Chain A
Amino acid sequence: MPDNAVPVLELRGVGKTFGGARALTDVDFTLAAGEVHAVVGLNGAGKSTLVETMCGALVPDGGTVHIDGRHTALTPRRAHAAGVRIVHQRRSLVPGLTIAENLLLGRLPTRFGVVDWRRAHRTAADALADLGIEIATDRTAAGLAPAERTLVEIAREAHLGGRVLVLDEPTASLGAADAARVHRLVRALRSRGTGVVYISHDLDEILGLADRITVLRDGRRIVTVAAADVDLPALVRAMVGDRLTHEADTRDPRPDPTRTHDAQDSDVGGSGGRARMAGEPVLELRGLSAGRLRGFDLKVHSGEITAVLGPIGDGQSELFPLLSGLRRAGAGQIRVDGRDVPSGDVGAALAAGLRCVTGDRLAHGLVPGLTVDENLDLVRRGLRRPWLVRWRRMRERGRAARDRYGVTAVHANPPVAALSGGNQQKTLLAAWLGTDMTACLLEEPTGGVDVAAKADIHRIVGGLAASGAAVLLASGDVDEVVGLADRVVVVRAGRTVADRPIDQVTRDELVALTAGGRAT
């Protein structure tokens, strides 16, 4: 590990607070030229904040950022000029342009003001060949496979003078063979002296690729170790920490989800305790195939919360479009109460008593410009198809639902756009779960909400199951699953890799399972 030279990138004592919540606390980080330095941590550990600080997108509250040993007040432009470049998880190639144009975007070689295509293609081909990538430069970006897009994008940043490349989950949603191509490229970059900051949830991958690993937890740097000196269980332990065992004496204000879940009495349909009794199988998926899901089987019983857990963007994220009827399944059946629900039919899914609550509330769940009460009435209106709107009754129902689900705002009934994330999420749940239903799918129900709202939502979901509904939870968040579910099904690359009652699996095992380790 070449740590005797001046690091190309160094962060000293960096801290960042967002509206009272500490995202980063006193984090040190160094990156040497020709090094692959991985950053790992659970969701919300502070990885994204750290990355954005490196690229100048965020200004830290405390601490300093040094590039080549010089202290800089970093802005995105300065970071770019200094050769710190990021490849985001969301791809940014222009689909309709060729590889050559994408690689040389904004700096196509010209002669007398006319693009010199021959030279453009030669330059692009050289740049790719240099990194051992074999892709014809006259293909359009839209025609590339996902792995090839990643490769081209990394190559572009390297070609444009990136000396520090930040790769944010470059292999997420890639298969093993494709991931290996990305790994080869990263190694080629390292041998050329490029410093690589590598973010990934796949710990196996990181152990095989990285030189050093920094573990973040709750915004703090827990440890930085050489990859050779650490193994998978040790990494998982460092990521998860001792939160569960030493809850009482930590400064961490986050409540133990299991505890709030049990202790608070529920307003929604009785007690939300773990003493729920699983009943008949109500929601059945048989051999469901679509997108990343391959022949997926699942039975969800009434009165039980079953979680489908997977890495972000894996099989569990296919469930919402499939069950809600937005998309037709390639193969397989969805059955509710023993009756087939035709695939790709929103009305049929609703009529069967299946309620699918999106994880992206503003895109698929709520109408931001309309009031809370009217949003709460949407599903009812979609189901009953009345001719007229009775405002007074709608408001009465709305008020009751707002009280029951704990939607609070300065004005009683503002447009949904004016609500906080937590209140929007509660409105979403109230709208979809307020009508009679037999089974529901909740996608990341506590995504992007604060700690207090999280506890409320856990209580609401627990109450649902206690009142006899079959609850299916689709999540990429281990904490959420541990806090809510009775049974957990882990999917990776679209296939089931584990199916256990929650009390027979530890949190560490779940982290290891989703992060790519073998079940122990």
Chain B
Amino acid sequence: MSITTLRGRVGVTLPAGLTRHLGLLTVLLVIGAVTAVNSPAFLTGTNLLNVSQQVAVTAVLAAGLTLLMTAGGIDFSLGSIAAVTSGVVAQLISSGVDGWTAALAGVAVGAAIGLVNGSVVTFFRVAPFVATLATSTVLGGVALLIIDGQSVSIGDHLEVLGFGEVLGAVPALVVLASLVCLAAGLIMRWTAFGRNAFAIGGNENAARLAGIPVARTKLLLYTLSGLLAGLGGVMLVSRLGAASPGTGGLQLELTVVAAVVIGGTALHGGSGTVVGTVLGVILLGVVANALNLLQVDAHYQDVAVGGVLLVAAITNHLRGRDRGTTR
């Protein structure tokens, strides 16, 4: 079961990007295999497309959070930002604004909230955990206020996004989520901004002394995660056709954080990959789907997600200790 021994035996010949997530990949395949054996419905195209659509929103939020957490930050308000933006978009559309304009406005609102989070953390030096927990609570209430506690329908606006298909088969939401994850991966690998996130998360003092614009990078990171959360909100409302109480919020937030942690991003910053995060998102989606198909009591879902998260967190800690970078 140990990932390190697994890496030691097999890892030499595989590319580094893959070996790092070998454990996660194995778990994913095992769960997939077990489910496929027990439920013939699992490996059908319809079901897999369904799963991919369900995880698309989580993936978009998780991509932003991966960057942020790599830089040592955290944002607990992403789910609430998604809830607020879906409400804003729905209200704008129902008051006669064009669907795409409303969507743009929603994304902008998300970015603006992210900027506020970033300013509180960067300039007032509030611990990001506390600051974003506070904004999360505020935004949870604001989201309900915006839609007045009722479902607000958007009719057939944004149908292209919510139900459209690219090449006649792939849902537009999945394409969008893939593009976002690809972009996030490229940013983390090839841009100075992305690499600076690693340096800041790894040692903020050293990064500052090396002349890296720490404050600006952090602000930008919070804004970016807010923007992606806003995009997630737009995706949610386009798929559900309405903004309703209980959309997004804490449940979504916790799934996102869990996915990023399962994907191997260090909670204390300094390391993380989008590939891992995507695997984490898919794993959580597959687990939920498998429990559904196997007709396990729905209450076990939370137990399963929590269990996976706990195992992943322990594995990450042990791996960090192996490399001597826990300090």
Contact = CB atoms under 8 A, between A and B. Distances in A.
B202 A369 contact: yes
Given A364-B206, A367-B198, A378-B207, A415 B190 contact: no
B199 A379 contact: no
Interface of B: 189-196, 198-199, 202-203, 205-213, 270-271, 323-325, 327
A375 to B, nearest CB: 8
A498 interface: no
Contacts of B196: 381
Contacts of B323: 369, 415, 417-418
B327 to A, nearest CB: 7
Interface stretch (A84-92, A386-394, A472-480): A386-394
Contacts of B212: 378, 381-382
A13 to B, nearest CB: 36
A389 B198 contact: no
B324 A387 contact: no
A39 to B, nearest CB: 31
Contacts of B209: 324, 326, 346, 356, 358, 364-365
Nearest to B214: A346
A364 B324 contact: no
A229 to B, nearest CB: 48
B203 A389 contact: no
B270 A369 contact: yes
B48 to A, nearest CB: 35
B190 A389 contact: yes
A378 B196 CA distance: 9
Interface string A355-376: 0101000111111111000100
Contacts of B210: 350, 378-379, 381-382, 431
A364 B211 contact: no
A246 interface: no
B324 A418 contact: yes
A385 interface: yes
A40 to B, nearest CB: 33
Contacts of A362: 203, 327
* Interface of B, helix, strand, loop or mixed by DSSP: helix
A374 B195 contact: yes
Given A381-B196, A388-B190, A417-B325, A350 B211 contact: yes
A270 B205 CA distance: 33
A365 B206 CA distance: 5
A379 B211 contact: yes
Interface string A329-368: 0000000000000000011001000001010001111111
A366 B191 contact: no
Contact of B205 (A364, A385, A415): A364
A368 B211 contact: no
A385 B193 CA distance: 9
A383 interface: yes
A367 B199 contact: yes
Nearest to A361: B206
Interface string A389-421: 101000000000000000000000001011000
Interface of A: 324, 326, 346-347, 350, 356, 358, 362-370, 374, 378-379, 381-383, 385-389, 391, 415, 417-418, 431
Given A346-B211, A367-B198, A379-B211, A385 B192 contact: yes
Given A347-B211, A364-B203, A381-B196, 15 more contacts: A326-B208, A346-B211, A356-B209, A367-B198, A367-B270, A369-B323, A370-B198, A374-B198, A374-B199, A381-B195, A381-B210, A385-B192, A388-B191, A415-B325, A418-B323
12 contacts: A324-B209, A364-B203, A369-B271, A370-B199, A374-B199, A382-B207, A383-B211, A385-B213, A388-B191, A389-B192, A389-B194, A431-B210
Nearest to A356: B209
B284 to A, nearest CB: 26
Contacts of A417: 323-325
Contacts of A379: 210-211
Q: Which of A324, A347, A389 has the most CB of B within 10 A?
A: A389
A367 B203 CA distance: 5
A324 B208 CA distance: 10
A370 B323 CA distance: 12
B191 A387 contact: yes
Contacts of B270: 367, 369-370
Q: Which of A326, A370, A417 has the most CB of B within 10 A?
A: A370
Contacts of A363: 203, 205-206
Nearest to A364: B205
Nearest to A378: B210
Q: Which of B205, B213, B270, B271 has the most CB of A within 10 A?
A: B205
Nearest to A351: B211
A418 B323 CA distance: 8
Given A364-B205, A370-B199, A386 B192 contact: yes
A389 B192 CA distance: 5
B86 to A, nearest CB: 33
Contacts of B271: 369
A363 B210 CA distance: 13
Q: Which of A365, A367, A415, A418 has the most CB of B within 10 A?
A: A367
A378 B324 contact: no
3 closest residue pairs by CB, A with B: A382-B211, A367-B202, A378-B210
A370 to B, nearest CB: 6
B208 A369 contact: no
A38 B162 CA distance: 79
B206 A367 contact: yes
Nearest to B212: A382
B97 to A, nearest CB: 35
Q: Which of A347, A362, A366, A382 has the most CB of B within 10 A?
A: A382
A377 to B, nearest CB: 8
Contacts of B206: 363-367, 378
Contacts of A382: 207, 210-212
Contacts of B194: 389
A386 B210 CA distance: 14
A120 to B, nearest CB: 33
Contacts of A358: 209
A365 B271 CA distance: 18
A38 to B, nearest CB: 35
Nearest to B266: A369
A389 B195 contact: yes
A356 B324 CA distance: 27
A366 to B, nearest CB: 6
Contacts of B193: 387
B203 A366 contact: yes
A229 B203 CA distance: 52
Contacts of B189: 389
Contacts of A370: 198-199, 202, 270
A417 B326 CA distance: 10
Contacts of A346: 208-209, 211
A366 B324 CA distance: 15
A367 to B, nearest CB: 4
Contacts of B202: 367-370
Nearest to B203: A367
Contacts of B198: 367, 369-370, 374
A368 B192 contact: no
Given A378-B212, A381-B212, A367 B192 contact: no
Q: Which of B189, B199, B207, B270 has the most CB of A within 10 A?
A: B199
Given A368-B203, A369-B271, A388 B192 contact: yes
A430 to B, nearest CB: 13
Contacts of B327: 362, 368
Contacts of A350: 210-211
